[in-house]
Structure 1
């Protein structure tokens, strides 16, 4: 079996080198264009894909390919799953490797928004001294939209901070948390902080739009470490510019990398990070181990 890791970062390559050597695997560090990818993986039966787009035309140029292991959960954002299925290519995903890492990123964004750290950092670098008013999180309500592994970790973090919880999930959740489960309108209207932890599916794409943001509590904080396409970004920008939302923190965007001219960059009450919630060595190591275990 020939296995090609097509887009490893330096960190992932280093971590892979720490594992017992596997002569079946070849590793390419960096992001190949289509021609380079075809040259690298023309004979590969299995591809490890971290973040490379693979449409129908590209898949047709990889005749030996029988399996793609996507290093994460959002394969549909990068791979044409219908085209893969039509060619008999199995697409596997890896979950559960970075639940705590992503939840801690959501925590970082929540704390930054609550205490306006990034805004004050910008002020000071511009020569402006402006101690900005913050929000005390203890006693506030944390609304969680989506309650998989990451949402559950965020719930534990919220409880440790002394926050109340409101949870909406598309299906029933573990018994220990059911007392906090509520309809989505109640989560939106009653939460001081809303943190999004939902999978992207055709049913959830664009779930939070103008009506949802209007329903949120005035002065609320919104955090998204899930998927950018869950949110209507123009509606979010409008809610931020009007002051209806006090702050927001985003680690994910509908278009990634975030384009230089994105209107999100013009919102001063918005904290941005570069889809790095999963990016800790601990999570990356677990991701590789789980991915390789799937290959066997």
Structure 2
């Protein structure tokens, strides 16, 4: 059985090669993170396994990949890049990797929250332009953090926020318990939170879940953090709320179009802190990610 890591950046390629063991399936590393979907058939060249970091795999392209049976997606957000149900109809299974970067993403969400509360990026930009901007920030101790979705990442966010003296409330689709966290109805979390952080997988149920009506129901001056998936939030409604001040500040790591275009409205709003879909990028998380990818490939090659 053959496989290809189709879009490896150099750092992930080095880890992938280092974690290779004797007896592993024949896995080739294509060291180019900037491929286009149309290149899949040639890069795979009949291989049965594709390890995919971030390159979209449209169903019509997958149909052209003769021999492809398994896609190992490096993360949990495969639906942003492919349609697993349509691929299943072609006999292609999509395998996800969960939990590899819970701490990394949680720390990034916390960093965006503090940067947003104290407008660090705004002051940095102004000072570099020669302006001595002194802006009042929001003190987070004693404030209420609302978590929308409560998996491993949200649990890590809760742990850090509780330690900093915040009240933490959460909503999850299935019942959960976590020490110090109050689990409430969705509308209650939206209504009571000074900071809202999104921690949901993207699917048909969550797409657009943070709607215009939902945003209009938020506490005036709320901070919104999204390290999950951009499509969960109505982008136009969020931008309108940022312009009106209903949302005091947004800290965003994910976008509907990536890379984010230079002329996108979000790039011109002063009350937004942006990071380039990099919340999960730490050496520790990358090690966990590639270890799990190899385990998937070994299991697949072994008939599991």
How would you bin the TM-score normalised by the shorter chain? over 0.9
Q: Deviations over 1:101-155 (max 9, x none)?
A: 0001101100100111000001101111121101111111111001000010000
Verify: 1:94 aligned to 2:60, yes or no. Answer: no
Among residues 27, 30, 37, which one is paired with 1:28 in the alignment? 30
Among residues 183, 194, 201, which one is paired with 2:196 in the alignment? 194
C-alpha deviation, 1:23, in angstroms: 6.2
The equivalent of 2:301 in structure 1 is none
C-alpha deviation, 1:32, in angstroms: 2.0
Q: SS of the residue aligned with 2:42?
A: helix
TM-score (norm 1): 0.96
Q: SS of the residue aligned with 1:25?
A: strand
The equivalent of 1:284 in structure 2 is 286
C-alpha deviation, 1:35, in angstroms: 4.5
C-alpha deviation, 1:34, in angstroms: 3.9
1:114·1:134 contact (CA, 8 Å) conserved in 2? yes
Structure 1 gaps of 5+ residues are none
C-alpha deviation, 1:264, in angstroms: 1.2
C-alpha deviation, 1:37, in angstroms: 2.6
Among residues 92, 113, 125, which one is paired with 1:110 in the alignment? 113
Runs of 4+ in 1 over 6 A off after TM superposition: none
The equivalent of 1:18 in structure 2 is 18
1:55·1:83 contact (CA, 8 Å) conserved in 2? no
The equivalent of 2:302 in structure 1 is none
C-alpha RMSD over aligned residues: 1.3
Among residues 41, 45, 48, which one is paired with 2:48 in the alignment? 45
Among residues 262, 267, 270, which one is paired with 2:269 in the alignment? 267
Q: What does residue range 115-154 of structure 1 map to in structure 2 within 5 Å?
A: 115-154=118-157
Q: SS of the residue aligned with 1:249?
A: strand
1:42·1:61 contact (CA, 8 Å) conserved in 2? no
C-alpha deviation, 1:175, in angstroms: 5.4
Tell me, in whole angstroms, the C-alpha distance in 1 between the residues paired with 2:76 and 2:223. Answer: 26
Structure with larger RCO (C-alpha < 8 A, sep 6+): 2
Q: Deviations over 1:57-87 (max 9, x none)?
A: 2111111111111110011111122331111
Q: What does residue range 47-66 of structure 1 map to in structure 2 within 5 Å?
A: 47-66=50-69
TM-score (norm 2): 0.94
The equivalent of 1:185 in structure 2 is 187
Q: SS of the residue aligned with 2:57?
A: coil
